[in-house]
Every structure is written in structure tokens, then in C-alpha cells.
Structure 1
Amino acid sequence: MDAVVKSLSDRRERDATAPARPSREEAEAAVRTLIQWAGDDPDREGLLDTPRRVTAAYDEFFRGYRDDVAAVLDRTFEEVSGYSDMVLVRDIPFYSHCEHHIVPFIGKAYIAYYPSKGVVGLSKLARLVDVFARRLQTQENLTAQVVQAMEDYLHPRGAAVLFEAEHQCMSLRGVQKAGVSTVTSQFTGVFKDNPAEQVRFMTMIRGTR
């Protein structure tokens, strides 16, 4: 119940401070302006429907702003026959968009935790990644948000999160270095307090494929 109340409070606070969302027509007009700024004619045949397609794509790319973390992590299962060791979900594919250039960064996430009272459905951890990835992000912020959500709603004895991604803002522009990956990680609880647990986590995510 506390998690649900917190989620509702956080959502009300976020909604109160967020700027008013433009209409779809205004969003499509903005896309037309960007097409013209790029040097093309938004009225030519191949681009006539592009503003509608782009706004529809943005609805999908950034649906995380409308997702509710509490709804994703709302149920745990306590009938696990006394299981209390590490739970690890690895190789979770994700994509997000760099908040500096609004171009994608794409990679995989690895999540582990030591349950306290019960375990959450494994698909929920993959969905949790999507909630925060489907927003304008930095990889560092994305990593911290996933860890904090696990702390707030699952109350584990410890959590470990690692993201590895290639950033198109680095591959396609600027230094234009394709194939470079960025790794971020964060640990709480037993993972933070015991370096051996961090080693175990890294060994398990890099283990035999």
C-alpha cells in the first residue's frame, strides 16, 4: 500500500510541474518545421505523411512517461520454498534516447537482487527497464532510476544493475566512433557492502553463453 501511495504522490507531483503537453497538431507542425530546417520540402509526396508518422513513433518511443512503476512491481510471490539467494535476469535488450541529441542508445541490461520477503515476476524486471528507458535519458540516470525503483518497491537485501549500450550520438555524429560501448553499474545493500558479491554478479553475467 505504501508503494501505491508513493507512486500516486510522485505522479501528482510530476504532473503538477510538467509543462502542458502540446496537441498532436502542434507536434506535427513542429516536425514540418524541422523537415524544412533540414532543407527539404514537407509538402512533397514522400514527406506528406511524415509528421503524422513521427508523432506516432514518439508516442511509442517515449511511452515510459505514461507508465506506472508501481503497476509494474505491484506483486511479489512469497511461495518460493525458502529461496533467498540471488535472482539474476541478464541480456535484457533495451533502447533509449539520449536527452542531449534525441538519438538512440541501444544495448542490454543486467539486473540482480537478493529477495527479502518474496520474488517479483521475471518479466516485471524487463518491463521496469522499459519504463525508464522509454524516456529521454542519460545512461547514468537510467541505471540509477532502475536501482531506486527496486529499492522503493521490492525492498531487497541488495540490488545490482548494469547497463551496456552503444550511443548513436557518438557513433553517427561528433567523434563518429562506431562499436564503442558504455557500461554503467550501481549496487545497493549486500552488493554494495560486500565486494565479493559484486564479483559474483559480474561473473554470472559474463558466464558461459
Structure 2
Amino acid sequence: MDAIVKKFEDIAVAATQPEVERPSQAEVEAAVRTLLLWIGENPQREGLLETPERVAKAYTEMFSGYGRDPADELGRTFEEVAGFDDLVIEKDITFHSHCEHHMVPIIGKAHIGYLPDGKVVGLSKLARVVDIFAQRLQTQEAMTAQIAGAIQDVLNPLGVAVIIEAEHMCMAMRGIRKQGATTITSTFTGAFRDSPEEQVRFMTLLRAGGRG
């Protein structure tokens, strides 16, 4: 378990962004105009006059994860759970992220399970943790590990299971251009990592009732 905790500490450090001086709103809008010129557009035509401002506003929303800490969402837990100590699963958590290589969308679903150790967290908090990591430039592999690591570090459950299924627009829109290809990644900690039976139980419960 110590090795697992150390692994996720390393991931957390790697995901922490150093303080940098952010460009001004005017500089961001100027950069968008430069990109419009580079692709052969005219930033002065009517339909594009407000595009730089709109892009800056959209980026503020789509990449808001950099200014949020998953520990803030997971910090409030509940211990009065009538003796419940079995597997908790939240599946089909939809998200939109962006590939850090091409800055195009990643669209998918996350499935999370954990084995409580005396306390549980509100289900909406798990979805918020997904959003925090999704609203950053990402690789799917890193995002999967970051979600599991945050839950493990803050809740300290007996184990965490995270599976992500996603379509990458960098494959659908450019390069190989294969629409509909899905990438699946998983991370298991604690009891899920050490016990194949717990992994099987998690997967079986995920399949129960089908997926939305």
C-alpha cells in the first residue's frame, strides 16, 4: 500500500501546475486573431469580430479545473451510514476534456467504485472530481490515475476502482480519422488492486442493468 500511496503522491505533484504569469485578456484575444489569420480567415469579417472574446470566455469555462482542488470536494464525508461498509459505485459520469497533444475534445464516461472505511462521500462529489480533472489538458491515462489517486488520498478507503471510456477527437477529426473508436483505461488501488475477485465484482455490478 505504501508504494501505491507514493505513486499517487508523485502523480499529484506532477499534476500541480507552477504559478505562471497569465496573459491579459487583450493578449489572449490577440492570439486568437493570429490563429484566425494563420488558417486563412479574416478576423475583421462580421461573423468573427467577437470570436476572440468568445473563445477566451469559453476557455475560462472549459479549463476551469486548473483553479479547483479535488480535496475541497471530497473533504466533507458522512460516517452515519447505518453500518454500510460495502462497495459504492457511481457509473456513467459523462465528461468533456481536451487532449493535451492537439487541444481537441475527449468525450466520454467515467465509472467509479470505492470500498468505504467507515465514511462515505456525497455522490455528486465524485462527479465533481471527474470534472475537475477533465477540465484540464489531459491524456486519458493520466486522468484515470489522477481521479483514483485523489479519492484514495483524501477518503483513504479500502480501495478505489476507476474506469474511463472515451472517444478522442484527435483520432476522429485528424490523422487516422476513425470515428467511433473508444479507448478504455482503468486504475485500481487497495483491495481492487490486490484482489481479482473485487475487480470482477466491480465489473459485474457495472454491467448490471446495462449502461446509459
TM-score, normalised to structure 2, is 0.90
The residue that corresponds to 1:119 in the other structure is 120
Q: 1:56 and 1:40 mapped to 2: Cα distance?
A: 21
Q: Which range moved further: 160-169 or 69-78?
A: 69-78
Residues 21-61 of structure 1: CA deviation (Å, up to 9, x unaligned): 11111000000000000100001111000000000000010
The residue that corresponds to 2:6 in the other structure is none
Residue 73, structure 1, aligned to residue 74, structure 2: yes
Q: 2:93 and 2:103 mapped to 1: Cα distance?
A: 22
The residue that corresponds to 2:192 in the other structure is 191
The residue that corresponds to 2:103 in the other structure is 102
The residue that corresponds to 2:171 in the other structure is 170
- Using CA pairs under 8 Å that are at least 6 residues apart, name the structure with larger relative contact order, 1 or 2: 2
Residues 75-134 of structure 1: CA deviation (Å, up to 9, x unaligned): 000000110000000000001000000000101000000001200000000000000000
Once the 2 structures are TM-superposed, how far is the Cα of residue 19 of structure 1 from its aligned partner?
2.3
Q: Write the letter of the residue equivalent to 2:133.
A: F
Q: 1:185 and 1:206 mapped to 2: Cα distance?
A: 15
Once the 2 structures are TM-superposed, how far is the Cα of residue 14 of structure 1 from its aligned partner?
4.5
Once the 2 structures are TM-superposed, how far is the Cα of residue 203 of structure 1 from its aligned partner?
1.2
Q: Secondary structure at the match of 1:185?
A: strand
Q: Secondary structure at the match of 2:141?
A: helix
Q: 2:93 and 2:75 mapped to 1: Cα distance?
A: 20
Alignment of 1:1-209 (within 5 A): 14=16, 17-209=18-210
The residue that corresponds to 2:3 in the other structure is none
Q: Write the letter of the residue equivalent to 1:72.
A: E
CA RMSD of aligned residues (A): 1.5
Q: 1:204 and 1:35 mapped to 2: Cα distance?
A: 48
| Structure 2 segments unaligned to the other structure (5+ residues) | 1-11
TM-score, normalised to structure 1, is 0.92
Q: 2:69 and 2:149 mapped to 1: Cα distance?
A: 14
The residue that corresponds to 1:7 in the other structure is none
* Number of matched pairs: 198
Structure 1 segments of 4+ aligned residues over 2 angstroms from their partners: none
Identity between Structure 1 and Structure 2 (%):
58
Q: 2:52 and 2:204 mapped to 1: Cα distance?
A: 46
Residues 160-209 of structure 1: CA deviation (Å, up to 9, x unaligned): 00000000000010000000000000000110010011111111112223
